Chain A
Amino acid sequence: MSDTVSRRTVMKGAGATLGAAAFAHAMAPLTEWSKDLSVGEFLQKHYKELTRDEMGRILVHLKEETKRKYGRDVDIRDLPPQEGVSFGYALNLSVCIGCRKCSEACHQENNHDRRTGNSYIRVLEMQQGSLDLEHGNANYDHPVPAEGKYYLPVQCHQCDNAPCVKVCPVQATWKEADGVVVVDYNWCIGCRYCEAACPYHARRFNWAKPEIPAEEINPDQGYLSNRIRPQGVVEKCTFCLHRTRAGRLPACLEACPTGARVFGNLLDPKSPIRWVLENKRVFVLKEELGTRPRFFYFFDK
């Protein structure tokens, strides 16, 4: 009887060893993954709980990491929202010609993945006389502007009642005091619920590690905006907050050849954005969803 038991036990032992070895072999690709995983980053607190010192150390670490992974010296800052500033954006559909210079500028400014040619802006070619998105087309490939068409660039609307913020299970995304919806890329768990919730297709996921040649990297970076995002997190347009919080204009606006874009402080009565809102007939996309965007569209006539 003891023979049976011991034979059984030996076989079980062999089976267990074999199983463990097979498991270790199956999981071997993880060594690659864990190389990129630092204890400090793993234990890093939520953005809002970081002290100045902690943020300082994280920024140093991120700069070193960028150097190591991408071979480029960059400057990463964490600019806070300015007092008395609430950003708004407006776009003149009468003059937009659909050239997509804005998407291109966004792509470069925000250090997007070169392989996928990502951008936070999608330009829809729309049927004249219709606001029905169903008749739009984002993949046009012909000279613009085309006869009978107009163009509708769509990017993050920085909604005041943002569905993406509402659904995030870990508060990795939130609305800043100046109205910009941001993502803490070091806190996002990559569940992509926000992507499902956004009615404007404004969020992007890093399906793989972004590829950018060192010489093409924009070194002027922000912790909450255009620093090169890690694989497996969601990102979005931040109105270029590393620029706009320093008093500059968003990259898409500077790139626009027709002057269709207007950006500024909604709280400043003399700002051009206020002039547009007060003097033009303005509308927002999908108003019926109650998202209350701070990205506005208008026509000249």
Chain B
Amino acid sequence: MAASRHLLDYPRFLGRLLWMSTDGSWRFYTWMTVLTAIALVGANAYAHQLAEGMALTGMSDHVSWGLYIANFTFGVGLAAGAVMMVIPAYLYHDHEMHDVTLIGELLAVAAIFVCLLFIVVDMGHPERAWHLMPGIGRFNWPVSMLTWDVVVLNGYLVINLHICGYLIYMRFLGRKPRKQWYLPFVFLSIFWAISIHSVTAFLYSGLGGRPFWNSALLAPRFIASAFITGPAFVIVLLQAIRRFTGLPIGEGPLRTLTSVMRVTVLLNLFMLGSELFTAFYTGGSHATAVRYLFFGSHGHHALVPWIWTAVALNIASAVVVHLPATRRHVGLLNLACALAFVGVWIEKGMGLIIPGFVPSTLHEVVEYVPTLTEWKITAGIWAFGLMVLTVAVKVALPVLSGQLAASHAELGHISPLPPGEGRGEGIG
């Protein structure tokens, strides 16, 4: 097939997949309707925030980043961690992992969408985003860490879209994917996954005026926690796919991902302990933010319940994931995943971004509590992310399982397949 034909056929193929994604069972429609409703609530809150100003948030000049950047940071971790599945599959030739690697990459794509949206809603002037475009704007690269983040996040999105799109398209055409068209990108994506979360950490750790963030351990901590949340999410997602689509997903990938989590939950706790040791053993003003975070200071305690919840969840997940019974009972495994996911979400969010600002650089203690507007927008963005993920997984699976292939669906005809052929039953 000539390359030029692909130029036409590939968009058609994508269009067909998208069209297919609107078919599904009642469960699928319910799921998407609920997500749409939440996303709309978020969109409405955002429209108000844009019109009336960011005074609708709980942020202030003292705490100038809040829930949005916290969720952004967490989302980057999720995106980086999702690619964790690629390492066993391609670096250690675990062939069982190959089949589910794509799921991880689709999750990465959805997570990056979430991250980009959190950045957009945090901007005072989102319509000026074009100032960030290299060439037409004034891109402060390589000096500003934020420009590095723009580069790595968008690059990561493109790489993963390419890998997923290519592999699915080839499967659809019934052809063997050519290694030179995806393997280099797969290896690049591993390297790139590390880079997105490291650069995001450098965003904070590079600020000399914020002692809480100004730690060389921040990037390794970010990576460790990313390699908790990515696998945790994928473990649960794979089971959902197995349950709702009947796609044969073996125990192998679940076992591998559980092993990854066993290491990373402990590593994460160890690094948290190291930071606490440095802060408290040294004491003095070096420890003020940490003291505020864990014990409160000068009568302010807003973050104390958050961080202890996070610590409790992280320790609990570490215990549960190491219980011998977890190997046999998938319910326990899911519990460990949920505990770890929420634990890291708090730790990388309220436990990391906010204490960087409290006390402020002039040592004023001004607390931050997210407003309803912020919660609505945050929920809306996550709902949108789940919609992207659902659609992505739903359109990828029929191709992967061979239910949709070029051999029995000529590309030129974009009309849907007759019902009852298993089409569109996706994960709905």
A residues contacting B by CB (< 8 A) are 1, 4-5, 8, 12, 19, 22-23, 25-30, 32-33, 37, 42, 46, 122, 124, 132-134, 136, 138-139, 154, 163, 166-172, 187-193, 195-201, 203-209, 230-234, 286, 289-291
Contact = CB atoms under 8 A, between A and B. Distances in A.
Given A1-B419, A167-B145, A193-B146, A188 B125 contact: yes
25 contacts: A1-B419, A23-B40, A26-B43, A30-B51, A46-B138, A133-B285, A136-B362, A154-B362, A166-B144, A169-B147, A188-B125, A188-B128, A190-B128, A191-B122, A191-B124, A193-B146, A193-B203, A196-B207, A196-B356, A198-B209, A199-B361, A203-B61, A206-B124, A232-B53, A232-B54
Given A23-B40, A231-B53, A232-B54, A163 B138 contact: no
A191 B123 CA distance: 5
Interface residues of B, number: 63
A170 B40 contact: no
A55 B204 CA distance: 36
Contacts of B36: 19, 22
Contact of A33 (B44, B51, B140): B51
Contacts of B364: 138-139, 201
A205 B147 contact: no
A171 B362 contact: no
| Max chain A C-beta neighbours (<10 A), residue from B47, B124, B129 | B124
Secondary structure at chain B's binding surface: helix, strand, loop or mixed?
A: loop
Contacts of B139: 169-170
Contacts, number: 179
Contact of A170 (B53, B62, B137, B207): B137
Interface in B204-228: 204, 206-210
Nearest to A28: B47
Nearest to B138: A171
A285 to B, nearest CB: 9
Contact of B129 (A8, A168, A189): A189
Interface of B: 22-23, 36, 40-41, 43-44, 47-48, 50-55, 57, 59-62, 64-65, 119, 122-129, 131-132, 137-140, 143-147, 150, 203-204, 206-210, 285, 288, 356-357, 359-364, 416, 418-419
A195 B209 contact: no
A25 B41 CA distance: 10
Given A30-B47, A199-B209, 14 more contacts: A5-B419, A12-B22, A124-B362, A167-B146, A168-B140, A171-B140, A189-B129, A190-B128, A196-B207, A200-B362, A201-B361, A207-B55, A286-B209, A291-B208
A258 B394 CA distance: 73
Contacts of A8: 23, 419
